[in-house]
Amino acid sequence: MDAVTKICEGKVALVTGTSRGLGKAIAQGLAATGATVALTARTMDPDPKYDGSLRQTLAEIIEQGGSAIAIQADLSRSEDREQMFAEVVERVGAPDILVNNAAVTFLRPLDNFSEKRVRLMFDMHVLAPLHLTQLAIPAMRERGRGWVLNVTSVGGDLPAGPPFSEFDSAAGFGIYGTVKAALNRLTKSLAAELYGDGIAVNAAAPSNPVATPGAGTLDLAKTDTEDIELITQTALALCTGDPRKLTGRIAHTQPFLREIGWLV
C-alpha cells in the first residue's frame, strides 16, 4: 500500500456488526487503509443459519494483509458492551475510530408490534451507540481527536404525505424509522457537545438499499440497489476527515460522495 492508502495507519478502529454486510465492508475498508480493526458481533463461528461470521471476516482481513482482532458480544446487553470494549483496549488500545453499525430489525405494522421487539430495536440502534460512544470519549478527548460514525438509514427521514404512499402505509417501517431518526438526532447532539474536543460524530446512510444478506432476508433489496462500495467510501471519508469541518453530518451516500468529488 502507498502512503495515501495508509491514512489510518497507527489508528485503532472498533466496528460493530462485522460478521457480514455493511459492517464487514467498512471494517475491511478501514483495515485496507492501515487501521487495526476490532471486530465484534454475535456470530463468532460459521453457522448454517447465518451468512458470515466474525471468524470469516477476521480471516479475510488477515489474508489481505490487514490487522484485526475479533471479539464476540451481544451488544443489546450493557455488560457485554463494557466487557467487549475493555478487551479491545487491553488487546489493541483505545479506539481512535468507532463505527456503530450493529443492528436488529423487525418490520411489523405498529398496531401489533410487540414491546419486547421495540425495546430490542431501541437497545441496538440507540442505546448501544450511545453507550459505546460514552466508553470511547475519554481516550479520544485525551488525544484531542476521534471519529464516531453511526450507520443510519434513509428510513429515518420523515415520509412525505398526506397522502401517503402505499409503501409508507404498508411496509411496517414505523419502528425502524423511529429508531433511525433517534440515532440521527443523537448523532447531531453528540457532534455539538464534542466539537470542542476535536471529536467528529457523523452518520452515514445508503441512498438506496444495498444487496446485503440482511437486506435480502428482509426483502429490501430487489430493485434500485447500490454498490456496497458507496457506503464504504462514505464511511472512510467520515472516519478520516477534519473533525473541525466534517462533523454533525447525516450523510446519504450518493449526494455526499458527489459533494466530496468521489462520484460525478
Active-site residue numbers?
Answer: 176
C-alpha 65/C-alpha 258 separation (Å) is 30
Please name every residue paired with 69 in a beta bridge, in sequence order, or none if there are none. 38
C-alpha 31/C-alpha 38 separation (Å) is 10
Contact 124, 104 (CB under 8 A): yes
Torsion of CA 33, 35, 41, 43, to 10 degrees: 70
C-alpha 229/C-alpha 245 separation (Å) is 24
C-alpha 65/C-alpha 35 separation (Å) is 11
Integer-rounded Cα Rg, in Å, for the chain is: 18
Q: For residue 42, what are the CA distances in angstroms to 46, 98, 209?
A: 11, 18, 23
